[in-house]
Amino acid sequence: ATDSPQTVAMMRLIAGESIRHPGVAEMLNRLGPGRGFAFMRSYMERQMEIGTLRRIEPGAAVRCFVGPLLAFIMTKVIFPQPDTDLLSTEAMAVAAVDVFLRGMEPHDA
């Protein structure tokens, strides 16, 4: 869970060390985020090719999908907002996916 004390501490540690040490950021990126980003980019590109998603730059599509989720985590864990306890992780995920899919509908849909 994104709100467990251990997860929060780990996220803060990783963010801080990645900023201070670019080599750490590069290593961590190769282990996780870089692989996930490449997979998602390839998947979205394929969905655009078959007409499930409208065609835009696949990297932009990945960032549009991931961005709201990262913003949610940051405003829950690092910079808590007044409504932090009112919005569950599940509700945010459902909203982000819904908004993304509506925005990525093919133009002829």
Q: Single out the residue of 45, 77, 76 nearest to residue 62, CA to CA.
A: 45
Structure tokens at 28: 């961590």
User: Locate tokens 């002829």: which residue?
Assistant: 108
**Cβ within 8 Å of residue 17, ≥6 positions away:** 24, 25
pLDDT tens for the chain, residues 1 to 109:
566 788 878 888 888 888 899 999 899 889 988 999 999 999 999 999 999 999 999 999 999 999 999 999 889 888 889 998 899 999 999 999 999 999 999 987 5
Within the chain, strands assigned E span none
Cα–Cα distance for residue pair 48/53, rounded to 1 Å? 5
pTM: 0.82
